[in-house]
Structure 1
Amino acid sequence: MKHKRTISVLIFFILLFSILATSFAILGSQGQGPGEYEYKSVFRETITLYGKGLYQHDSISMATQAIAQDYVTLFLGVPLLLFSLYLSGKGLLKGKLLLTGTLGYFLYTYASYSFLAMYNSMFLIYVLLMSLSFFAFTLAMMSFEIPRLPLSFKEKLPVTFIGCFLLAVSFVFGIMWLGKIVPPLFTQRPPVGIEHYTTLVIQALDLGFVIPLGILAGILLMKRKPFGYLLSSIIIIKQITLLTALTAMVVLQILAGLKGMWIMLAIIMPFNLIVIYCLYLIMINIRETVERVSGTTRGHVST
């Protein structure tokens, strides 16, 4: 794997600081603070703030989402990053794809924390994690021999099914976010859920990057283009972690008594299960090749 040492160093610090940030947030979620209290936003809406721990200045909705994300990062993201680093170190394409997709999850997560969460004592850690994840993700992307990727997948890989799913999930989330944003433009009212924040960071990231990437990956994969194999694998791995985090967020919001979350859960859960199945299809249809690193042979051949 190209840039192996540099990526490994970056991942060491990602693991270290993400464990620090998530543990601090989880253990301190019921910590010091005035408790729940109301706040008048610039949009003249009354918002109930969480009032406890690291996220005490965030709304109840945002705080419960962030805590759920922290649990997923700590108990799914961190182990997956370690496991994929181990597999990629053996020269396995499965490991390289898992590693790159997981780094994409960390990049997305800490970019959203850096720009969305109310300022707290972990701000510089969020920025550091965003930066580390960006450079590790970029180097991991550069490590693939993209023109040869189609040779690493079996012909029976169901590219139409996986590609159509990527298009479908991109379409659903695109419509969902546009449905949240567009109607208020005509009523001169703030979008539902903006609360006391200044803008819609998650929607900006999804509409600007994640959804177009999903559409592009789906189309290229159905055409069996080399870049389609890479993009579809990475976006699926990232979607698993994100949809799992989103599922956990919704469950915590339901437990917190927020209304209307059962509908969101009914939408998310099927997508979460299908995207896991898509990853399974990709993994079992990878034809591992022998990779030589520094004079030694890594990986194995499977047919």
Structure 2
Amino acid sequence: MKHKKSISVLVILIILLSTIACAAGLFWSGEATEKEFQAITGERVKVLGEGLYKNDSLSVASQGKASDFITLFLAIPLMSISLTAAIRGSFRGRLFLSGTLGYFLYTYMSYTFLWTYNRFFIVYVFLMSLSFFAFILCLTGFDIQNMPSMFKKKLPVKILGGFQLFIAFMIGILWLSKIAPSILNDAVPAGLEHYTTLVIQGMDLGFVVPTAALSGILLIKRRPLGYLLSSIIILKGITMLTAISAMIVNMSLNGVEINSIEAVIFPVFNVLAVICLVILIKNTEKKAEAI
């Protein structure tokens, strides 16, 4: 693995800082002072009022705690295992590490720009930065032109590429349908609460949707970059979709109103992503482990 030392240092720092950040999000306690107020947009907002996310809405705080749980008990162990495998020369380990780093980059970008300012803001910034540079180093370590040889020729590129195109289309339609009424009617988007803009929708429409669409097209055409991007999209998708599924469950448990379409579509995407990962891994050439 190229840049082995630099990547190892960055990943270890990510593991340490994210463990602390997740533990603080889950276990930071204090006197509960749940309150409700009217935002400048006119929307009535219920704020959690305790712990690290005390100034966040009940909805976002519920999502944060669910995300912390998945990061702590799934993403961090997965990244630790994939780093060990990647250091030993495993191609699959490098793919898993890249995909997991994509999840950490996305997660802590959202914490930095969406969550209400709290004492861990600078930690979120460090995690976003560390994840970005580790992710870039991982990507530059792959021999992209040689990527197709790392997978079996029978890899069902149309199925995997079609899944990514489907994901890109559905997420695009889902978020645009949420945004369009506010643009056409010059109104505030539903669910904005006391936040200033739609950060997640912006990140998805700006990065996730076009990357998934490009990745799907390139893979169907069996272009080298398509193999790498598809592996990252699918692996990042599983961790991210698992976190979103957990968010939906936790929001429901906390009495937060949930969009019925989102409550169904994201868990379904999660299951489909797991199936695609199994197909992907089964069609990785054994010889690739030594590269």
Letter in 2 for 1:9: V
Letter in 2 for 1:182: A
Letter in 2 for 1:180: K
Secondary structure at the aligned position of 1:43 is classed as coil
Q: Which residue of 2 aligns with 1:10?
A: 10
- Superposed CA offset, 1:196-247 (max 9, x none): 0001111111000011000000000000000000000001100101100000
Letter in 1 for 2:248: V
Question: Which runs of no fewer than 5 residues in structure 1 stay unpaired?
Answer: 291-298
Q: Which residue, 96, 99, 103 being the options, matches 1:98?
A: 96
Distance in 1, Cα, partners of 2:186 & 2:31: 35
Q: Which residue, 46, 52, 55 being the options, matches 1:54?
A: 52
Q: Which residue of 2 aligns with 1:293?
A: none
Residues 273 and 130 of structure 1, relative CA distance in 2, 3 Å threshold: same
- TM-superposed CA distance for 1:173, in Å, is 0.6
Distance in 1, Cα, partners of 2:90 & 2:283: 13
Q: Which residue, 263, 268, 280 being the options, matches 1:265?
A: 263
* TM, length-normalised to structure 1: 0.93
Letter in 2 for 1:19: T
Letter in 1 for 2:239: T
Q: Which residue of 2 aligns with 1:248?
A: 246
Q: Which residue of 2 aligns with 1:281?
A: 279
Letter in 1 for 2:9: V
Secondary structure at the aligned position of 2:287 is classed as coil
Q: Which residue of 1 aligns with 2:204?
A: 206
Distance in 2, Cα, partners of 1:70 & 1:34: 20
Secondary structure at the aligned position of 2:194 is classed as coil
Distance in 2, Cα, partners of 1:34 & 1:271: 36
Letter in 1 for 2:105: L
* TM, length-normalised to structure 2: 0.97
After superposition, where does 1:1-303 map in structure 2 within 5 Å? 1-28=1-28, 31-289=29-287, 299-300=289-290
- TM-superposed CA distance for 1:184, in Å, is 1.1
Distance in 2, Cα, partners of 1:100 & 1:269: 23
- Superposed CA offset, 1:62-96 (max 9, x none): 00001000001000110010111111112111111
The 10-residue stretch of structure 1 (198-207 or 279-288) with the greater mean CA deviation from structure 2:
279-288
**Runs of 4+ in structure 1 over 6 Å off:** none
Question: Which runs of no fewer than 5 residues in structure 2 stay unpaired?
Answer: none
Contact 1:253 1:261 in 2 (8 A): no
Contact 1:247 1:269 in 2 (8 A): yes
- Superposed CA offset, 1:136-174 (max 9, x none): 000000000000000111011110001011000111110
Distance in 1, Cα, partners of 2:212 & 2:184: 29
Percent identity of paired positions between Structure 1 and Structure 2: 48
Distance in 1, Cα, partners of 2:216 & 2:79: 25
- TM-superposed CA distance for 1:270, in Å, is 1.5
Letter in 1 for 2:190: V
Q: Which residue of 2 aligns with 1:294?
A: none
Distance in 1, Cα, partners of 2:265 & 2:202: 21
- Superposed CA offset, 1:271-298 (max 9, x none): 11110110111111111336xxxxxxxx
- TM-superposed CA distance for 1:260, in Å, is 3.7
- Superposed CA offset, 1:14-57 (max 9, x none): 000000000011011xx224422112212122211111100010
Distance in 1, Cα, partners of 2:164 & 2:221: 14
Contact 2:251 2:258 in 1 (8 A): no
Distance in 1, Cα, partners of 2:11 & 2:189: 37
Contact 1:254 1:261 in 2 (8 A): no
CA-atom RMSD, angstroms? Answer: 1.2
The 10-residue stretch of structure 1 (116-125 or 252-261) with the greater mean CA deviation from structure 2:
252-261
Letter in 1 for 2:30: Q
Contact 1:96 1:140 in 2 (8 A): yes
Secondary structure at the aligned position of 2:190 is classed as coil
Q: Which residue of 2 aligns with 1:295?
A: none
